[in-house]
Amino acid sequence: MSYVNEVYEMLQKKHPYEAEFLEAAKRILDSLTPIVDANEDLYRRNALLERFVEPERIVSFRVPWTDDQGKNHVNLGYRVQFNSAIGPYKGGLRFHPTVNQSILKFLGMEQILKNSLTGLPIGGGKGGADFDPHGRSDAEVMRFCQSFMTELYKYIGKDVDVPAGDIGVGGREVAYLYGQYKRITNLYEGVLTGKGLSFGGSLARPEATGYGLIYITEEMLRAAGEELKGKSVVVSGSGNVAQYAIQKAQERGALVLSCSDSDGFIYDPDGIKLDLLFEIKQKRRGRIREYAEKAPRSEYHAGEKPWSVKCDIALPCATQNEINGEDAKKLLKNGCTVVAEGANMPSDEEAIDAYLAAKILYMPAKAANAGGVAVSALEMSQNSERLSWSFEEVDSRLKDIMVNIYRNVSAASEKYAHKGNFVIGANVAGFEKVAAAMLAQGLV
């Protein structure tokens, strides 16, 4: 039995009920087979894969809080500190009812490789709670965040673990978390990223994931002798990633036809109107169906996803497993030739198999959406230097990082698989650096 299969069987026995983690681990381990086979003796002697697939530390804790009616609640909070071989743990906090240890381990394992791909000195981690901030008042969210940080602060720090936002954790939540950290520790340091500009945040951070997604998509197209201008684009989601991917794609001359939320999607044949989208989502935190009420030629499709819309490029920017095998077949049938992932693992295994079989340009999330964590790391640098860089400087550094990610992923795909298999390319390119650091540091 191969080393990869042995390690995966070990994981199945140890964690039989962690379906999301096992799915992610299998995908990653399978894609690492070429580099593992080439270095099997070295990796076996050092138990490298056994260490790579297990977090260095998992912290779980209860989060008690009181709502506006005086009712008491208790949620579960977590921090998965997965791998610090190349730097302090770095990864978002997610507040959502579906959060559990399995999901956070899968996200944390992906984060290790994503962070490595940026070329910046950051390790991998993830955290959050099974709390839903939607429909809660600012006061309720503040009380929850303060209770959450009252336990989490013991395990984080600017040189130890630097969380950021994720689903359900935006600027409001990060600010409350940071305020409580500062209150407890009496430290004004860059312990969280995605902060407000008035207290250490970075310009271009809200735009970073969406802009980075477009920059790497442009690199894929350029290498294929094409350009983004004139292409039709379907986007899912309507949060920061989707909004700023739409903005940058439109700046580059693409026609963006859709966006969505958990209730359904909007199709606008004239192209998504950004001012209207920003007004609904940023100013009022409204639902995407409101867009159709103000854009006469647009259509709202309740309870549906946008993958049946004819397009050249698909940018899934909503959530994990939002594209299944049938969705992928619809995209391919309708002429889609490029898929770049703005969300974390939005395509399931059948969908990825369909992309690879069709030999379209497919860039997985750990490379395509790395712009967010890259600018988070740049925020850490600015905090350390007590400086604030201009939007243009941050954006320029972001673009350089995304171009380098594409080049490294492409080179690794040629070396270990075949040109254009960016799934293997992304995993191997990220893993090589982490593996080298783990081997150098000994059995820890």
The partner residues of 347 in beta bridges, in order of sequence, read 323
Fill in the DSSP letter of residue 153. Answer: G
Integer distance in angstroms from the first to the last C-alpha of the chain?
26
Q: Are 392 and 205 in contact (CB under 8 A)?
A: no
Contacts of 417 (CB under 8 A, 6+ apart): 34, 424, 425
Q: Are 191 and 162 in contact (CB under 8 A)?
A: yes
Distance CA 79, CA 303 (A): 33
Contacts of 366 (CB under 8 A, 6+ apart): 110, 113, 114, 117, 426, 427, 430
Distance CA 143, CA 122 (A): 30
Q: Are 195 and 169 in contact (CB under 8 A)?
A: no
Distance CA 221, CA 300 (A): 30
Which residues are tagged catalytic? Answer: 126
Judged by DSSP in three states, 264 sits in strand
